[in-house]
Amino acid sequence: QSVLTQPPSVSAAPGQKVTISCSGSSSNIGNNYVSWYQHFPGIAPKVLIYDNNKRPSGIPDRFSGSKSGTSATLGITGLQTGDEADYYCGTWDSRLSAVVFGGGTKVTVL
């Protein structure tokens, strides 16, 4: 069971928007930065969002991140078939002195 809680799956039609939630506690999300990763099978994960809401160069602004209290959210607008992947949230946990990830959310484009 993961320290951070994500929904197992979300889906939407092409062009629509999806949001993925990531719920934690004061020892992790509440007091540390959150990052989000996109993972395709057989390829190393790619960071989409870091420091809660910053995008690395090359990541389109269709991807956005936000944080409120002990929860964080990844938003994907203008959904494309190429966005079908697994998405993970991650952060530092000050109580565990460890990086923790969510269980992952599979995005399906209908």
Residues 81-100 that bind other proteins (CB under 8 A): 86, 88, 90-92, 96-100
CB of 86 to other proteins, least distance (A): 8
Strand spans (E) along the chain: 9-12, 18-23, 34-39, 46-49, 63-68, 71-76, 86-93, 98-101, 105-109
- Give the largest CA-CA distance in the chain: 41
Encoded one letter per residue, x for contact with other proteins by CB under 8 A and - for no contact, window 32-71 reads xx-x-x-x--xxxxxx--xx----x---------------
Classify 41 as helix, strand or coil. coil
Binding site for other proteins (CB under 8 A): 2, 32-33, 35, 37, 39, 42-47, 50-51, 56, 86, 88, 90-92, 96-104
